Each structure stands twice: as C-alpha cells, then as structure tokens.
Amino acid sequence: MDISGLTSIFATSMYGALALIALWGAYCIVVIWMRVAQKRFRNEMQQDAFLEAVEEPLARGDFEEASELCESDPRALPQLAYLAIENREIGYSQVKQLIVERFQRDVLADLDHRISWVNTVIKGAPMVGLLGTVTGMMGAFAKLASAAQVEASQMANDISLALITTALGLVIAIPLTFCLNSINIRIRKMEDLVAVGLTRFLAALREAIANETVHELEEIESHSMAGTE
C-alpha cells in the first residue's frame, strides 16, 4: 500500500477518535452537572428552611435530632453539618477546619477532576481534528505526486474530507466550552451558598456546644456539692 493509502486510513481513523473524545466530554459534562445539582440547594430560601429546621434542635441541645435531619440529605451543606455535629467533641476550631477540608476534598476536588478532563477534551479535540486534516492533505498531495493525471474533482473531494476532521474538532470543543462556563458559574454559586450556610450553621453549633459545656459544668458542680454535703 502506498503512502497516500496509509495516510487516508489514518485520517479516516481520526473520525473514530473524535467520536470517542466527544462521548467522553459529554459524559463528563453530564456527571459534573448532576453532581452539582445533587450537592447544592436550588436557592437560598431552601437552604434557609433547612438551617431553620436544624437550628431548632440545636437550640434545645438535641444533637441527635439535628444529626438525623442532616444524615439523610445528600447535599453538601447537610453532610458537612452532620460531620460537624458528630465531631463536635474535638472543639469548634478543629470542627470548622475539618468541614472546610472535607468540602474541598469530597466535593470541589471531585468536580475539579472532571473539569480537568473536559478542559483536556476542549483543547485536544481541535488538535486531533487538525492532525486528521494534515494527514489527509499529505495523502492527497502524495496521490497528486504519484499519479500522472488526477482529476480536480477527486482532489477536491479528498481535501474536503480531510478538512472535515478539523471542523468536527471545533464542533466538539465549542459547545463544551459554553457548557463548562455555565457549570463553573453554578459551582461558584454553590460555593457562595455553602459558605453562607456554613457561617450560619457554625454560629448555631458554637452556641449549642457552649451551652452543652455550661450544662455539663453545672452538673459536675451540683454533683460535687451534693457529695460534700
């Protein structure tokens, strides 16, 4: 097989590569979109309603009820609140640091991993398409050089097919760019909403922990006084 045949086969294989790249990029976009939807409240009103429901048992010192309200909710703020309540014994400052680290690791890091793949697809798809175009053009010119007479329509057809791969690469990258920008906006909104919610929840938790500590000290003091009597 001559070089024009080999380059033609290679250029054609780029269609399959671009199809796989497009599917992977679309899959990552869908996963990120669903992940963000799963981890955030739709609006601040919903989040405020949740916080009000949790603050009520915290004000009574009923950590078990507050924990139950958070445990079954898969969204980021309830899960972080559950983690904070369950680890309240380590102290307020360490609890605050713990939930910030967990939010970064369990939520944002997973999203960043998927986003990095989408960015790779956005950058890689046009390059793969360009590689197919260059390879196809090499085959077309190799055919022109080896043949004594080549019809112009045949050359135009070969060049057109080669250029399609670059167009396909751009067709893949451009929509993914818009989708990724939309997702980044949703992620920033989620971060802002979670930050506001955590500030309010941690204030309520801090007060509940302080009340619990005062209550425990009062019990210890009453027991000690009863023992001395």
CA dist., res. 207 & res. 97, Å (int): 17
Return the top range by mean pLDDT from 9-13, 61-65, 141-145, 221-225. 61-65
Amino acid at 10: F
Buried/exposed 152-185: b ≥16 CB within 10 Å, e otherwise: eeeeeebbebbbbbbebbebbbeebeebbeebee
Q: What pLDDT is attached to residue 213?
A: 64
Which residues touch 177 (CB under 8 Å, ≥6 apart)?
122
CA dist., res. 118 & res. 32, Å (int): 10
**What's the whole-number mean pLDDT along residues 185-195?**
93
User: Of the given ranges (44-48, 86-90, 130-134, 225-229), which has the lowest mean pLDDT?
Assistant: 225-229
Domain boundaries, the chain: 3-228
Q: What pLDDT is attached to residue 172?
A: 95
Is the pLDDT reported for residue 54 higher than 80? Answer: yes
Which residues touch 111 (CB under 8 Å, ≥6 apart)?
32, 35, 36, 187
**What's the whole-number mean pLDDT along residues 121-142?**
86
**Residue 185's pLDDT band (cuts 50, 70, 90):** very high
**What's the whole-number mean pLDDT along residues 120-131?**
93
**What's the whole-number mean pLDDT along residues 178-203?**
93
**Residue 228's pLDDT band (cuts 50, 70, 90):** low
Which helix (H) or strand (E) segment holds residue 121: the answer is: helix 109-146
Cβ pair 129, 14 in contact under 8 A: yes
Is the pLDDT reported for residue 9 higher than 90? Answer: no
Is the pLDDT reported for residue 217 higher than 50? Answer: no
